[in-house]
Structure 1
């Protein structure tokens, strides 16, 4: 979900560039992209979509699922399952969120993995093909799809909010955002709850593992420029880098890696926008971006890619 944060400047490596649209040949990808689209977060009208890179077709999901305000989709590592957050139709109240899992391409209804707990379940991400980490009432928890058992990673409740968990591949570490607003920082923690480590010292959120010891995250450009920007952080040398496709005049958010160079991002306010946030392929080595043929006059956000 989109949140607004007041950010504090910290030590940073700035990469300056001029925003370029269609400045080079668009890279080719195969596989699928999930994303959500809404008019406004508080309008409760979010819907999930699948975009097929091979056929360039976009499919609306869940027309008969009786689940409202679906968002934040994430594929299992093998691409066979999709998890997302949503609410049962007609239950639009603060604690109504649940975590669902759907077998991709099937006619089966999604499985509600947290049904009936009367808690706020959000931000699900697959750790492996069976386990999903998510946020529940301000804590990080793991649910197993086979028997729906839930284990704790953190147990602070809303006193210290933990959100936006993202597993690091080939490790037991989870990236996440701790705190809210100006106090939000990116941390890593073991699935057992041990080794809770602060990684950023500026207000930042939406961490996404990228490659090796690097992850992506979102922050303001500066304390006086509130445009969202995407940065890379290298845990090996503790270096922050502002990626060159950012612009001080536009919001750039919700990175979704496609490979070790390219990613899908949500851009808002740039020239040629269809309206709100739109999805673009962005080049981490240049200022080049290319719009995807899914954009509308609404907001396209929360993308995630699988090569399958």
Structure 2
């Protein structure tokens, strides 16, 4: 994303000292880099990124590192005749990369078949001052979202014998030049798109329903540039924003819903810029760029623990004269085992806001018995009550089963990484009085999962024979 910011005339100023304390001051000053030997062996895919000395100087090139083959290759060539190729992203099947670059004095969007000797295909064919930038694929690979002259475009893709073509294009925002919209990224189900609106310190994130002009503010802090949304498969949005207006230093945040409190990740270095997040689906890992070692270098971070690994061991950061930005990871075709959903909660540590008695404590709702043991909250004046399980580490949540003995009319299923800040992944105001409730197709992640009831469905307290959390 650094390319887009600088094209708007913005230069983020690196923080020279510790940031002042604040409610979301979750960065770490000079975070340690983990040992090369502990780099996650599960990452065997390919990483695309670009590097340049400074934006717009003509030195930008696209590279791909293959973690399985342990090879680093500059894939962009002088013979392409494309100036400053950058911001490459893999198609969902890994066969193509889409990227932006300059031809005929205009920014265009190109496709290149990975591993081939073929020339890139110009999908936009613009000339002059037209700007086609920030390409991103839909999850199914049938659409490409990109910025064109300040508006967000959705282009339908068709893969022909001669290569990919746009069969139609739709202007989703239609607000340029009054408003500048950029950096689109579609939700996993394709029903909405996140993007940045504004320039400079007025840049904020919005979420718009595809097929309409309905949009909501996702994160628009006053005076703090907020940009580059990337949506993980579970719906978690990773993005960058300034830590404060004085330093203008980039930090990486996450949110799921517009109403959530932004979560500043502990992988951020308080003394540097940290930006261009690229989360790895179905894991807590995220590739990102950071100036911890001087210029922008590439790192892998764990969004849950804050651990950081430098990619220097792979030769990625060898040329210290160039910034490395715009990383995008292709994991390969997922195996059935990698996607297998399992019961995560049984036998795990549990707690509750209250218990009717010791024999009706929270652990009994996670003991595997759906009929003969249970958790009961206090009765009588019981209002808001909760039952929580600690999964031990951050997991992807896909479903919850509730075996009610006495139900909740109004309740929420919530997740948290720290047990303090909670995100709703399900809510209802018409809950059952008793019986089995199966909540499928949930999209969330967290170490802690809880049922948070605010209105009883019976005269008794809340009571669950069993609560089962499913995911991977």
Q: 1:75 aligns with which of 90, 108, 115?
A: 90
Distance 1:59 1:6 in 2: 29
1:299 — aligned with what? 323
Aligned pair partner of 2:262 in 240, 249, 257: 240
Deviation of 1:162 (Å):
0.3
- Normalising by structure 1, we get a TM-score of 0.89
Relative to structure 1, the CA distance from residue 155 to residue 223 in structure 2 (aligned partners, 3 Å threshold; closer, same or farther) is: same
- 1:252 and 2:262 aligned: no
Match of 2:123 in 1: 113
Match of 1:59 in 2: 73
| Aligned pairs (5 A) from 1:78-117 | 78-88=93-103, 91=104, 93=105, 96-116=106-126
In the TM superposition, 1:128-277 aligns within 5 A as 128-146=140-158, 147-148=165-166, 149-202=168-221, 203=224, 204-235=226-257, 238-259=260-281, 260-268=283-291, 270=292, 273=293, 275-277=294-296
Q: Calculate the TM-score normalised by the size of structure 2.
A: 0.59
User: For the residues of structure 2 that align with 1:220 and 1:58, how far apart are their CA atoms?
Assistant: 32
1:45 alignment counterpart:
59
Cα distance in structure 2, aligned partners of 1:222 and 1:280: 23
Matched, 1:30 2:44: yes
Which of 283, 286, 302 does residue 283 from structure 1 map onto?
302
8 Å contact from structure 1 (residues 6, 223) kept in 2: no
Q: Which runs of 5+ in 1 are unaligned?
A: none
TM-fit CA distance, 1:21: 0.8
Q: Which has the higher contact order (CA 8 A, sep 6+)?
A: 1
Contact conserved, 1:17 with 1:244, CA < 8 A, in 2?
yes
Structure 2: where are the runs of 5+ without partners?
14-19, 159-164, 333-472
How far is the alpha carbon of 1:116 from its aligned partner?
Answer: 3.6
Over 3 Å counting, the alpha-carbon distance change for 1:12 and 1:183 in structure 2 is: farther
Report the count of equivalent residues.
297
* Deviation (angstroms), 1:143: 2.2
Per-residue deviation, 1:120: 1.0
What per-residue deviation string (whole Å, max 9, x for no partner) do you get for residues 54-99 of structure 1?
12211111213221100011111111111000112xx4x4xx1000
CA RMSD of aligned residues (A): 2.2
Say whether the 8 Å CA contact 2:56–2:84 is kept in structure 1: no
Cα distance in structure 2, aligned partners of 1:200 and 1:299: 27
CA contact (8 A) 1:31 1:54 kept: yes
Alpha-carbon shift at residue 117 of structure 1 (Å): 5.4
Structure 1 segments of 4+ aligned residues over 4 angstroms from their partners: none
